[in-house]
Amino acid sequence: MGNMNKEDISVLVCDDSALMRNLISRIIENTQGLSVCAKAMNGEIALEKIAEAKPDVIVLDIEMPVMNGIEFLRERKKRKMDIPVIILSSIATEGASVTMEALELGASDFLTKPNGSVTADLSSVADRLVELLSSYGFAYAIMHGKDVYEPDFFIRQIKLREAERFVLEQKKEKIEAIQEQNIEKVTDKIVPAAKKIVWNPPEKKTPAVIKPLRDGGRIEVIAIGISTGGPNALREVFKMIDPHLKQPILVVQHMPAGFTKEFASSLNKICPLEVQEASDGQLIKGGNIYIAPGNFHILVEKHAGGNVIRLSQEAQRNGHRPSADVLFESIANVYKNNALGVIMTGMGRDGASELAQMRTQGAWTLGQDETSSIVYGMPRVAYELGAVQKQVPLKMMADAISALAREHL
């Protein structure tokens, strides 16, 4: 039997909009295993409430009176607080720039705000919010002695909600434009009140064994797939990467359109190599890092004069565009055993099956270990499929990548 005596992951919601506080709170309260411990209309009030409320994770707006989100993060840093913070970000270009500043100041991740006037994207926002809160909140809560549900428990709830929404769509039930006065009613349709479910954590599987078609060869390219927990993990890896690395690195980080250019720019400030958002037809050069643009798959195309990047808006894979599976599949086809594939923290299984294909072709592979992953989802599935040659903690990932790249140049 599953343990029904788990504690909730506690969330502090900080936003100057009563409408947004209400919306976010409804999503949280309608999710089993999450609860709102406090609400605040600005950063100053949030700071006052932290000691008593003891949140495991904070949802933080940027634009607020008295003390805005950036000022809150500066104060949090000054006070040496380590409570994870999820930023509520606007879609505007200037929003992307401020969001990256927030990540540089120690925010864990970000969520794109819904428009507030229509419900078209509320369901995806709700699922993403639950994913982020459960992932970062779980990591913080267990570090502080709480007995809370694992992220897989919340994935199950998200999948159940997806199934319910599919049934609603099949019946052609349409959700009308959201109004301030009926937000609770509409949110309940998108995020139904949590039904108590019995939870039995998945059993650990013995990894499959892959017999490569050929031995590992020279490493000509490095490909990384990463999701939840990625913004800060990539900062740690690229800050410490070998400044003399000869190979190019292609990265899929699940991130919305409009943010990846600023993300690449933010990484470029701390990385000894050149980091840029990838563009279609771009010649792949050694010692450069290419970040897949939001809403585009990234692939490699073989050319006599040098391989080039191709961007595609073909259908999502594993619910993502860009998808790590699309990148790894392309690398396996073009480079065979002359590549290094790396799969890191992230919910779900994107990248796992095609990293296994890379391994089958003889490529070298690494996976982030369970202890250092914010969510041990993607790397766990890859490990179970036999796709991961070696599991590496985050703090050693830059060294592990650099050492393999030097050894097999």
In this predicted structure, what is the pLDDT of residue 206? Answer: 87
Section 168-190 average pLDDT: 55
| pLDDT computed for residue 174 by the predictor | 52
Answer for the pair 324, 351: CB distance below 8 angstroms, yes or no: yes
Residue 173: pLDDT above 90?
no
- Residues annotated as catalytic (active site), given as ranges: 227, 254, 350
Please spell the DSSP secondary structure of 312-371, one letter per residue.
E-PPPBTTBSS-HHHHHHHHHHHHTTSEEEEE-SBSS-TTHHHHHHHHHTT-EEEEE-TT
Are the beta carbons of 9 and 137 closer than 8 angstroms?
Answer: yes
Q: What is the pTM of this model?
A: 0.87
The domains of the chain, with CATH numbers, are 9-190 (3.40.50.2300), 221-407 (3.40.50.180)
Model confidence pLDDT, tens digit, residues 215-274: 999 999 999 999 999 999 999 999 999 999 999 999 999 998 889 999 999 999 999 999
Beta strands in 52-173 (DSSP E): 57-61, 85-89, 109-112
pLDDT-based confidence at 201, cuts 50/70/90?
Answer: low
Alpha-carbon gap, residue 400 to 383, rounded angstroms: 17
